[in-house]
């Protein structure tokens, strides 16, 4: 059952690119992110209530930590996410955003001197080359002709997520993941609200299908994804759970073709396969295929 749940999580997270693409064409990045995390926060508070989870009182250090998490992992990330998907197809964005583990890998090595195995380096370079193929649309000699603002914004997603992940690794506290995520979302909403007001609210002009996309992003992409992913880590360990992340760009490209009728060429398929293979190699090397985490 847990494997089916994790497959569903990968499917849902692949669908977030399609939902964000739909929303980004109607609302601004800050307004879209605010509505997404309004739905997410309501859902998380519902889970907290249903599970009788007590939200602990945070210390000043923990407050600063969660503010940084909210800024990097939600406010900045979703600005890049919505802005990129306003400009480029969801299929291209999903493959570029999937570089998360690669950027985290090299950032950790550069900033903290974490050791790099040969297989990690190989996986990182393979995924980066795959991203180059996707950006260049197979025309490597003229890559900069195809590298526009949308691609740059899409690459901002894994960069901001690397900051978020490094903060989590280096600033861990004795607080449950559910409580931490709930606090992070509440703080992100507080940060997103003035930005969304400045950008301009257009709630009355948002069509029903976009509201459905925003609810999908918040309730399924954030709440259900978090709960089931955390359950996977507890049940089968981080090693096996993380492998399912490799399916996210696959679902993202598949849904882009089926639902948004985006066209993809051979270069996107080849480049995407290289990205997925490289990221998978990093994860396999990182955990060494241990049976226990």
pLDDT in tens, 136-161: 766 666 666 667 898 899 999 988 98
Neighbours of 230 (CB within 10 A): 15
pLDDT band per the 50, 70, 90 thresholds, residue 170: low
Predicted confidence at residue 108, as pLDDT, reads 75
Taking the model in full, what pTM does it have?
0.85
Neighbours of 135 (CB within 10 A): 24
d(CA 201, CA 28): 9
Q: Structurally, how many domains does the chain consist of?
A: 1
In a domain, residue 186? The reply is yes
In a domain, residue 152? The reply is yes
Taking CA 9 as the corner, what is the angle to CA 103 and CA 215, rounded to the nearest 5 degrees?
Answer: 100
3-class SS at 266? helix
Predicted confidence at residue 292, as pLDDT, reads 40
138: left (phi > 0), else alpha (psi -120 to 50), else beta?
Answer: left
How far the first Cα of the chain sits from its last, in Å, is 20
In a domain, residue 240? The reply is yes
237: left (phi > 0), else alpha (psi -120 to 50), else beta?
Answer: left
Is the pLDDT at 37 greater than 60? The verdict is: yes
d(CA 93, CA 176): 32
Is the pLDDT at 287 greater than 80? The verdict is: no
Predicted confidence at residue 289, as pLDDT, reads 44
Residue that is written with structure tokens 């999908």 in the block: 216
pLDDT band per the 50, 70, 90 thresholds, residue 41: very high
pLDDT band per the 50, 70, 90 thresholds, residue 293: very low
d(CA 287, CA 234): 16
Burial class, 112, CB count within 10 angstroms (exposed 0-12 / middle 13-18 / buried 19+): exposed
Evaluate whether 30 touches 196 at the Cβ level (below 8 Å): yes
Predicted confidence at residue 172, as pLDDT, reads 58
Is the pLDDT at 67 greater than 70? The verdict is: yes
In a domain, residue 292? The reply is no
Question: Both tokens of residue 246?
Answer: 């490799």
Predicted confidence at residue 49, as pLDDT, reads 93
- Cα dihedral value 128, 111, 74, 9, nearest 10: 50
Predicted confidence at residue 6, as pLDDT, reads 87
Residues of the chain with pLDDT > 70, as a percent, come to: 88
In a domain, residue 293? The reply is no
Predicted confidence at residue 291, as pLDDT, reads 43
Mean pLDDT, residues 40-64 taken together: 91
In a domain, residue 225? The reply is yes
- Could you tell me which residue, 110 or 10, shows the higher pLDDT? 10
pLDDT in tens, 237-249: 655 676 777 788 8
Predicted confidence at residue 173, as pLDDT, reads 60
Range of the domain at 165: 2-287
Predicted confidence at residue 171, as pLDDT, reads 61
């Amino acid at each position: 059952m847990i494997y089916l749940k994790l497959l569903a999580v990968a499917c849902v997270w692949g669908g977030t690119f399609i939902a964000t693409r739909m929303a980004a064409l109607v609302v601004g990045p800050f307004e879209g992110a605010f509505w997404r995390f309004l739905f997410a926060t309501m859902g998380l508070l519902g889970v907290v209530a249903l599970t009788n989870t007590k939200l602990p009182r945070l210390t000043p250090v923990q407050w600063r930590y969660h503010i940084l998490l909210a800024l990097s992992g939600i406010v900045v990330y979703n600005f890049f996410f919505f802005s990129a998907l306003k400009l480029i197809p969801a299929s291209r964005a999903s493959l570029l955003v999937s570089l998360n583990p690669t950027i985290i890998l090299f950032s950790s090595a550069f900033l903290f001197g974490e050791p790099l195995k040969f297989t990690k380096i190989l996986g990182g370079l393979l995924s980066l080359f795959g991203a180059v193929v996707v950006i260049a649309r197979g025309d490597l000699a003229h890559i900069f002709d195809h590298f526009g603002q949308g691609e740059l914004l899409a690459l901002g997603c894994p960069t901001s997520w690397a900051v978020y992940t490094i903060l989590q690794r280096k600033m861990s506290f004795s607080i449950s993941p559910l409580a931490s995520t709930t606090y992070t979302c509440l703080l992100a909403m507080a940060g997103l609200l003035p930005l969304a007001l400045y950008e301009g609210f257009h709630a009355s002009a948002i069509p029903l299908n976009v509201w459905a996309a925003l609810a999908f992003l918040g309730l399924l992409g954030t709440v259900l994804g978090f709960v089931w992913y955390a359950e996977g880590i507890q049940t089968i360990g981080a090693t096996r759970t993380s492998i399912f992340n490799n399916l996210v760009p696959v679902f993202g490209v598949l849904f882009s073709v089926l639902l948004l009728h985006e066209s993809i060429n051979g270069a996107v398929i080849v480049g995407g396969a290289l990205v997925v293979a490289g990221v998978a190699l990093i994860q396999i090397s990182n955990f060494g295929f241990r049976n226990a985490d």
